[in-house]
Structure 1
């Protein structure tokens, strides 16, 4: 699903068998207690997924925050509540872990995703920047 949109198609690889870089990343996420991969299963198939990372910082009195990344929903299931399920679970996990906020970034080229996040209550409170290395 990472490569199933215009943006992902330019930066992800679809290979059989799965490229080693993805297997290594999955193993790192799977063994890191500060990361979770949340998956919605629909009849044995991945319907949607996201990565959830718990970050403790010095600001906001040492608050722990949850960072959501790599949100994907299968094309044929968009608009059917899969994304809502993913976010409800992620927010619940963030509360269980004592997080004070949940944050995410979204590519400006994904206006539908941005609208979805706003409908969930997220606000564009900061200007995000990235530096490609």
Structure 2
């Protein structure tokens, strides 16, 4: 069973995304901000990270930079309500596997998770 870390400062979003993932058979870890999420990612070695972009403290952009600098091979899906082309381009440039719209859409999330985890296994 794949382990997925969900990082979002919104408790509601964490619960919503977690329940969709658990229903699909994934093990889910959660963190309320980028700093906590990075610590969990280092300690738990998840198969995938799903990260909010706009958070206080360490935001999604900084989290992506930290993942890249640390050399973690974990794919990161970014979830955001700020889905402008420039936002998407910056996230992809920083190493995100993909950038998805909030609110969560089960029909988009689950296939994206499968692709991201599949890409990591091929690497």
Structure possessing the higher radius of gyration over alpha carbons:
1
Higher RCO structure (Cα 8 Å, ≥6 apart): 2
- Structure number having the greater strand percentage: 1
- Structure number having the greater helix percentage: 2
TM-based fold match above 0.5: no
